Structure 1
Amino acid sequence: MTLIDPTKLEKWLRPHSMEWYEQLSKLQNKYMYPWMSTILEPNGELIFDNEATEMVVNQKVLDIGCGDGNFMNQLSCIVKEIVGFDITEKFIQLATISYKK
């Protein structure tokens, strides 16, 4: 068996760097987070989503790192106002297109 250090590859991009997100937005055309929890529900993600949802009812919300706007869309029907912010221009474009008013 041969193991290699992926950081030594010519086209290696540091995960969660600006370049990594830019590449992700162009290759996938959406924010893709395929990891699934192996812990049965309620898991951390579900608990977070539920608590965040309860906290923002009828509030003004700033979603920093909104990606393609998926979480914003989920909350848009229960908040007073929601603004998404992301450093990746392609994700902002996708969020704008998919935003449900």
Structure 2
Amino acid sequence: MADTSIPAGYGPDSELDYEGPDPVWLQLTAVMIARIERGDYPVNRPIPSIAGLVQEFGLARGTVRKTTAHLADLGYVRIVNGKGSFVLPRD
């Protein structure tokens, strides 16, 4: 099974390293977690849409979907079909 641990060293304003050793979707996950923890996306509010993140980072839709699903698996967002992904409260 592939390593899905969040790579260190990525902050909310980090650029993705498309040629680096960490998978891009995990880099994006780290950036999104940092943004959520910084408060860029408030609790119970949506994170940017898949289309918005595709445009911002220049990634494929599937890559962004994988990131969003991983954020949900980690308990950072709740995906609501047809509405978006909403930030969950952190304990």
TM-score (norm 1): 0.29
TM-score (norm 2): 0.32
